[in-house]
Amino acid sequence: MTTEVKQSPRERLLEAAATLTYRDGVGIGVEALCKAAGVSKRSMYQLFESKDELLAASLERRTSAYVATLLPAADDDRSPRERILHVFEQVESESGAPEFYGCPFLAAQIELKDQSHPASRVAHGVKENLTAFFRAEAEQGGASDPGLLARQLSLVFDGGSARAGIGADQLTGLIAPTVITLLDAAGVR
Amino acid sequence: MTTEVKQSPRERLLEAAATLTYRDGVGIGVEALCKAAGVSKRSMYQLFESKDELLAASLERRTSAYVATLLPAADDDRSPRERILHVFEQVESESGAPEFYGCPFLAAQIELKDQSHPASRVAHGVKENLTAFFRAEAEQGGASDPGLLARQLSLVFDGGSARAGIGADQLTGLIAPTVITLLDAAGVR
DNA sequence: ATCTTTGGAAACCGATCGGTTTTCTTTTCT
DNA sequence: AGAAAAGAAAACCGATCGGTTTCCAAAGAT
C-alpha cells in the first residue's frame, strides 16, 4: 500500500501552527513552529508568504473540522431547538478536555487586535457562520425575533468558551440552562 | 496652590501601561511603555521588579476605577434588578466609545494564557468580585438560584464585552434584553 | 555654595523576533 | 547509475525583546 502515512510539510506546518498558537498564543515564534513541524524555515517560507499567512491558513484549515464537530449533521432531523442545544452540548463536552482554552477563533481575534489581520478575517468569518446557523434554526423554530436570538446564542457561546478558557468558570450546569431560558423566551419549543 | 499638576513617574507608567496594553496587547515592549510615560527604563526598573509586575500593578490600579464605573453607588437605593441592569447599561455605553476593545481584564487573561502570571491573578480577582456582586444582588432580589444567575450574568458580561471588542457585534439592543430574560427567568423582579 | 539624591538618555547585554541565504544531504526521476 | 529537484540544518540579517549599566544633568537639602 502506498497510503500516505506521513503528512506533507504543508499539513504538518498547519497542524503545528494550530496546536502551538492555541496553547501559547499567536506570539509563538516561527522557529518554534518549524521545529515542531519538522520543517525548515526555508521550506516554510516557500510554502507560505509570511507567518501571518501561515496563521490565517492554519485557522482556515481548522474551520471545517470545527464546524463539523459543533454543528449537527446535515441529515439530522431533530427539531431546531434540539439542533441548537446540540452545539452547546458539544462545546460543553469539549470544555472538559485537559487542554481547553476556549474558542481558538475568538482567542486569535483578541490576541491579534488588528481586525484587518488575515487570520482575524478568517476567524470573523467563522463567527458569522455560526451566528448564521443560529439564525436559520431560530427562524425554522419560530423564534419571535430570530436575529436577536441568534446574537444572544453567539453571545453565550463566546462568553462561555472565553470564561471556561481562562478558568473563570465551568460550563457544566451553566450553559445549557442559559440557552434553554433564551430559547423559551424566544418561543422556540 | 501647590496642587500636583504633574503625576509621578510611577503613575505615568501605570497609566501608559494601561493604555498601551489595552490598545496593543500585553506584548507591547518595555521601551514603548517607558517612552510613552516619559520615564527612563532605569527608573522603571527601580519602581517595578519586572515588566510582568508593572502589568500587574497597572491592572490592579485600574480595578477601583473600573468597579466604580460599572457598579452602582453604595448608597444607590434602587432594587437589585435595577442595580444589576445598571452594570450592563454602563458597559453598553462604554462599548460605544471609539477605542473600546472589551474588558481589559478578560483580554489580559486571554493574551497571557498563563493563569499564574501576576497580572492574570489580578484580573481573575476582578472577575470574581463582579460575580460576587451579581450573586449578592441576586440573593437580595430573591433569585431562585442566585449562584446560577450570577454565573449567567458574568457569562453575558464577558461574552458581550469580548464580542463587542472584536467587532463581532454591537451591544445595543442585545445585552439588555438578554439580561432581562435571565432576570425574569430567575424570578428577580 | 556644595553635596547628595534623583532620574533621563543611551549604550550595552544576550536572546529572540521575522525573514533570507548558503550548504549539504536525501529523495526522486530517468 | 547518474542527473536533478527537494528539503533539512544552520549561519546570517537587521530589528527588537526584557533587562542592566554607565554617564551626566537637574533638583533638593544642608
HEC profile of B37-84: HCCCHHHHHHHCCCHHHHHHHHHHHHHHHHHHHHCCCCCCCCCHHHHH
Instruction: Confirm whether any atom of chain C, the nucleic acid strand, is less than 7 Å from CB of A40.
Output: yes
pLDDT digits (tens, 9 = 90+) for A101-138: 999 999 999 999 999 999 999 999 999 999 999 999 99
* Å between CA of B32 and C1' of C9: 15
Position B40 scores a pLDDT of 92
Mutate to test the interface with B, among A155, A172, A179 (most CBs of B within 10 A): A155
Share of chain B above pLDDT 90, in %: 93
In angstroms, what is the C-alpha Rg of chain A?
A: 18
For residue A161, what is the nearest residue in chain B, using CA coordinates?
B159
**CA A189/CA A140 separation, integer angstroms:** 11
Say yes or no to pLDDT of B144 above 60: yes
Mean pLDDT computed over A65-76: 94
Nucleotides of D under 7 A from a protein CB: 7-11, 16-23
pLDDT band per the 50, 70, 90 thresholds, residue A5:
very low
Position A9 scores a pLDDT of 84
pLDDT digits (tens, 9 = 90+) for A173-182: 999 999 999 9
**CA B52/CA B59 separation, integer angstroms:** 11
pLDDT digits (tens, 9 = 90+) for B23-47: 999 999 999 999 999 999 999 999 9
User: Does the structural domain A60-186 have CATH classification 1.10.10.60?
Assistant: no
In angstroms, what is the C-alpha Rg of chain B?
A: 18
Position A3 scores a pLDDT of 35
Say yes or no to pLDDT of B186 above 50: yes
**Residue closest to sugar C1' of D6 by CA:** A43
Say yes or no to pLDDT of B12 above 60: yes
Mean of pLDDT over chain A:
94
Between chains, do A154 and B148 touch, taking CB under 8 Å as contact?
A: no
Question: CA–CA distance from A113 to each of A119, A121, B38, B106, B165 (Å)?
Answer: 11, 11, 25, 13, 9
Strand D CB shell (< 7 Å): A 9, 38-43; B 27-32, 40-42, 45, 50-52
Instruction: Confirm whether any atom of chain C, the nucleic acid strand, is less than 7 Å from CB of B188.
Output: no
Sorted by where each begins, the domain ranges of chain B are 55-186
Position B29 scores a pLDDT of 93
**CA A23/CA A20 separation, integer angstroms:** 5
Position B1 scores a pLDDT of 37
Measured between beta carbons, which residues in chain A are less than 8 angstroms from residue B113?
A: 23-25, 101
Inform me whether the C-beta atom of residue A114 falls under 8 Å from chain B C-beta atoms: no
Position A92 scores a pLDDT of 96
Fold assignment, B55-186: Tetracycline Repressor; domain 2 (1.10.357)
**CA B75/CA B170 separation, integer angstroms:** 31
Say yes or no to pLDDT of A96 above 50: yes
Inform me whether the C-beta atom of residue B95 falls under 8 Å from chain A C-beta atoms: no
Mean pLDDT computed over A45-57: 95
* Å between CA of A31 and C1' of D12: 15
Position A104 scores a pLDDT of 97
Position B9 scores a pLDDT of 82
Position A7 scores a pLDDT of 81
**CA B106/CA A179 separation, integer angstroms:** 22
